[in-house]
Amino acid sequence: MTSLLASKFGTPLGYRHLPRLLALGFLVALVLLAMTNHLLMSLEVNRTADRSVQRMGAYKTSLQATINRHHYLPRILASDPRIEHALAEGTQYEPGDGAVQYISELLQSINAEAQSDEIFLMAPDGMTFWSSNFDTVHSFVGSNYGFRPYFLSAISGQQGFYFAVGATSGEPGLFLSAPVRNAANDILGVIVVKIDLRPLEHSWMESGDSVWVTDREGIIFLSSSERWHYKATRPLSETHLDLLASTRQYGMTPVTELSRLPDWNTPQWAAFDLGDVGEQMAFSSAINGYPWDMHLRLPMADIRQQVRIKQGLLLLCMAAFAGALLYYRERHRRHEAQRALEQANEVLEHRVEERTRDLREAQNALAQNQKLAALGRMSSAIAHEINQPITALRNYTASSRLLLERGKTDTVKQNIEKMDALTERLSALSRQLRIFAGKRNTGSGHASLHSPVRYALDVMQPRLEAEGIECHIDLGTERWVLANTMMLEQILVNLMGNAVDALAGHPNPLIRVQLAMTGKSSACLSIHDNGPGMDRELQTKVFEPFFTTKSVGDGMGLGLAISYSLAHDMGAELTVQSEPGSGTTFSLTFQAVVSEPAEEPA
Ligand code: ADP
């Protein structure tokens, strides 16, 4: 059955295919990882960009606030009559002349008040006449900044807005400029306020983020880390390079280009190889109202790590999914196997039922045949038993008639005695058959064992004497047992008759009848003879009906079968112990009772 199921469903879980399945799963996982790598990277970059834009919002606000704080200052100063007067009257002196130094002092006090970096005033030719740093080594006084775009804007009547590295001081700053006009609206000169943005950069650096700001051409001019100052984030045109050289916007050092990575370059973000700090991804966001862009840069490694974590999670999910699939497949397989087993069991049970039915029918047929055979054997035995005495009777009758005619009455008398014996034999046979076939007295009650033994001895006395058999009777005190006296008498007559038959021709024939208690509640009556005994095979057959070893006419094979049946009916047990050459003992075991019978059953 097991092999049948195994062949139907294969080895459990298909373990044979497991290595191949694992290799396939590994391959699929690799392909999937390769396929999802770019997609996951894009998703992660997008997600990081969103977060970066939010963080850049705060830095933009701080930058705009710093600029707005000073944005109004050049215009207000330009409308100050003292400034206008200084330009109208003071330019006749030499720059730095002590007679007009009070103007520089005025600018110095305004500069201190406004917390700007420097404030300076320029003549229409670009010459700086007055400056808040007039008393320092980096004084702007006497320097001509006519080449600077913030001057050119203001002198042409526009507001100037320009980030540059100071031509004199070398300090970077944002230059805000405005034209100074007289009452006739003529431009008398230019007032410039320089703002220092380095404290702002310092605060960015302290925040821990890497932030930079680029100008319209993509050149970094503000950064949380000074080392990226004045690096170009995209290629610069020759014209612009020339312009940078002429305006010295970012000092004398030439602007160099950061090396971009070919991937991940869009208007929203760009990737750079920053050498010692590794690959970086910069996310961009325009600063409203200014020609600048703010950038927040992050190591690509951080983004890639996030991608790897997600890939790991994806693999875990796949493994869990594959595990679940295998589990359900295995469950399904077991379920199927169980169902097949149940079906096979059902088929088997059905077959067993069929076979049992066939067997029962065959047994019934056999029993029927056996019954018929037994009936046949019994009929022929009875016919034989009856026929013989009848034939003998007929012969004796015929010979008696002849003898009477001849007057030989003595011989007739002998014949009659023989005929008497024959009728006695016929009646004994009939008695036996009546007991076997007729309605027996089956009631059991408290019975004595002594009286049935005496009865049997009385019945058997003539034969015992005729055969010269010695009898030892050892009954001891009276015992009361559960039995039926008449049945017991019949059994004892049968057993003693058999013992007498067995002792025929024995030189010292002996029968011993013994009664003994075999326990608190059982008694055993045994009839022993020292006859030839029986071998084991014979012992197994003696209780079978119609089994006899005696010659035809001497035995019918019913005595022990009837005795066994009678003993059983009255609740006793009949057994045999025998050894060839050592004699035979038949034992009757009864249930012992303590009192005399109240009334003998009928
Ligand atoms: P029957 O006496 O008509 O043969 P029984 O049923 O009484 O039938 O006995 C069956 C057989 O058992 C006898 O033919 C005999 O072979 C055997 N048998 C019975 N009693 C003894 C005995 N005491 N010793 C030896 N054989 C015996």
Beta pairing partners, 576: 586
Give the residue from 110, 109, 107 showing the smallest Cα distance to 121. 107
Structure token pair of residue 368: 């029927």
Instruction: Specify the pLDDT at position 170.
Output: 85
Phi, psi for residue 499 in degrees, rounded to 5: -65, -45
- 3-state secondary structure string across 87-148: HHHHHHCCCCCHHHHHHHHHHHHHHHHHCCCEEEEECCCCEEEEECCCCCCCCCCCCECCCC
Beta pairing partners, 457: none
Residues 144/120, Cβ–Cβ less than 8 Å: no
Cβ atoms within 10 A of the Cβ of 349, count?
Answer: 10
Q: What is the mean pLDDT of residues 96-121?
A: 93
pLDDT band (50, 70, 90) for residue 10: very low
Tell whether ligand 1 has an atom less than 6 A from the beta carbon of residue 95: no
Residues 122/185, Cβ–Cβ less than 8 Å: no
Q: What is the mean pLDDT of residues 77-103?
A: 90
Looking at residue 127, its amino acid is: M
CA nearest ligand 1 atom 17, residue: 542
Phi, psi for residue 354 in degrees, rounded to 5: -60, -45
What order do you get walking across the sheet with 118-122 strand by strand?
128-131, 118-122, 187-195, 172-181, 160-165
Q: pLDDT digits over 102-112, tens only? A: 999 999 999 99
Task: List domains and CATH numbers for the chain.
Answer: 73-196 (3.30.450.20), 442-594 (3.30.565.10)
Supply the DSSP string of 461-491, one letter for each residue.
Answer: HHHHHHHT-EEEEE--S--EEEE-HHHHHHH
Tell whether ligand 1 has an atom less than 6 A from the beta carbon of residue 559: yes
Q: What percent of the chain clears pLDDT 70, i.e. is strictly above it?
A: 93
CA nearest ligand 1 atom 18, residue: 498
Please determine, for residue 3, whether its predicted confidence score (pLDDT) is greater than 50. no
Which atom of ligand 1 is nearest the CA belonging to 558? Answer: 6
Lowest mean pLDDT among 259-263, 316-320, 395-399, 551-555: 551-555
Please determine, for residue 70, whether its predicted confidence score (pLDDT) is greater than 80. yes
Which H or E run contains 327?
helix 300-406
Structure token pair of residue 369: 């045949």
Identify each DSSP E strand in 150-255 by its residue range.
160-165, 172-181, 187-195, 210-214, 220-223, 231-232
Tell whether ligand 1 has an atom less than 6 A from the beta carbon of residue 548: yes
Which H or E run contains 260?
none
Instruction: Specify the pLDDT at position 504.
Output: 92
Residues 77/86, Cβ–Cβ less than 8 Å: no
Structure token pair of residue 222: 């503000």
Please determine, for residue 598, whether its predicted confidence score (pLDDT) is greater than 80. no
For the chain, counts of helices (H) and of strands (E): 14, 19
Cβ atoms within 10 A of the Cβ of 523, count?
Answer: 22
Pairing of strands 187-195, 172-181: antiparallel
Q: What is the mean pLDDT of residues 428-454?
A: 74
Instruction: Specify the pLDDT at position 442.
Output: 59
CA nearest ligand 1 atom 20, residue: 498
Distance in angstroms (rounded) separating the CA atoms of residues 119 and 70: 11
Ligand 1: residue of 542, 544, 574 to mutate (most ligand atoms within 8 A of CB) is: 542
The conformation of residue 227, written as its DSSP 8-state character, comes to: G
Q: pLDDT digits over 527-552, tens only? A: 999 999 999 999 999 998 878 898 76
Instruction: Specify the pLDDT at position 60.
Output: 94
Tell whether ligand 1 has an atom less than 6 A from the beta carbon of residue 547: yes
Distance in angstroms (rounded) separating the CA atoms of residues 36 and 533: 101
Ligand 1: residue of 558, 560, 578, 582 to mutate (most ligand atoms within 8 A of CB) is: 560
Distance in angstroms (rounded) separating the CA atoms of residues 144 and 241: 22
Structure token pair of residue 105: 């002092």
Instruction: Specify the pLDDT at position 599.
Output: 46
Residues 515/562, Cβ–Cβ less than 8 Å: no
C-alpha angle 506-510-513 in degrees, rounded to nearest 5: 150
Structure token pair of residue 186: 């003529």
Beta pairing partners, 557: none
Please determine, for residue 311, whether its predicted confidence score (pLDDT) is greater than 90. no
Identify each DSSP E strand in 196-287 by its residue range.
210-214, 220-223, 231-232, 256-257, 269-273, 279-286
CA nearest ligand 1 atom 24, residue: 502
Ligand 1: residue of 382, 463, 498 to mutate (most ligand atoms within 8 A of CB) is: 498
Distance in angstroms (rounded) separating the CA atoms of residues 20 and 560: 79
Give the residue from 420, 419, 397, 400 showing the smallest Cα distance to 410. 400
Tell whether ligand 1 has an atom less than 6 A from the beta carbon of residue 499: yes
Instruction: Specify the pLDDT at position 296.
Output: 94
Tell whether ligand 1 has an atom less than 6 A from the beta carbon of residue 214: no
**Ramachandran bin of 552, using left for φ above 0, alpha for ψ from -120 to 50, beta for the remaining angles:** beta
User: 541 C-alpha vs ligand 1 centroid, how far in Å?
Assistant: 10
